[in-house]
């Protein structure tokens, strides 16, 4: 067993442990980080003509973006939910375009959008990260 294999196993264990202990805000951050990391790797594979690896990584990014979209709560009455949904749809279309046309600019665009979104997400104050619970009526 080489060093690379052991390091990969450690990363996987570390990630699974983080998922088990993360709050919802942290899980979304982890999803964004995972997508950004895979986009960077997919770009490298694209530039080196490694189509199978590129396609696999873009497919994983599409899955992550689908999870991000699925995590939106349509019951929350704010235009932000629809705007984020449309943004995730746009990212998905750009990733499909990148995969079909070997367009690294499309990968870069989605990566920039995710980085901006992640930066804004990470900037949410701690006290605003928990959903507001309705006040309970007195007995």
Tokens, residue 135: 């006040």
Tell me the torsion sign for CA atoms 50, 37, 131, 123. negative
Contact in structure between 118 and 29 (CB atoms under 8 Å): yes
Give me the long-range contacts of 68-75 (CB less than 8 A, separation at least 24): 68/28, 68/31, 68/32, 68/35, 71/24, 71/28, 71/31
pLDDT of 21 > 90? The answer is no
Instruction: List Cβ neighbours of 20 (8 Å cut-off, separation of 6 or more).
Output: none
* 23-123 CATH: 1.20.120.340
Q: What tens digit of pLDDT does each residue of 62-81 get?
A: 999 999 999 998 888 889 99
Q: What tens digit of pLDDT does each residue of 80-119 get?
A: 999 999 999 999 999 999 999 999 999 999 999 999 999 9
pTM as predicted: 0.78
Contact in structure between 107 and 95 (CB atoms under 8 Å): yes
Contact in structure between 31 and 67 (CB atoms under 8 Å): yes
């Amino acid at each position: 067993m080489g060093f690379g294999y052991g390091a990969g196993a450690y990363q996987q264990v570390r990630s699974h442990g983080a998922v088990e202990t993360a709050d919802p805000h942290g899980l979304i951050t982890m999803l964004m980080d995972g997508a950004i990391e895979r986009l960077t790797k997919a770009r490298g594979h694209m530039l080196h003509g490694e189509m199978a690896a590129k396609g696999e990584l873009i497919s994983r990014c599409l899955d992550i973006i689908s999870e991000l979209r699925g995590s939106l709560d349509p019951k929350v009455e704010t235009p932000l939910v629809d705007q984020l949904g449309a943004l995730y749809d746009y990212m998905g279309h750009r990733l499909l375009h990148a995969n079909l046309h070997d367009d690294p600019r499309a990968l870069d665009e989605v990566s920039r959008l995710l980085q901006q979104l992640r930066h804004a997400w990470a900037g949410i104050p701690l006290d605003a990260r928990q959903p507001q619970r309705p006040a309970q009526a007195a007995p």
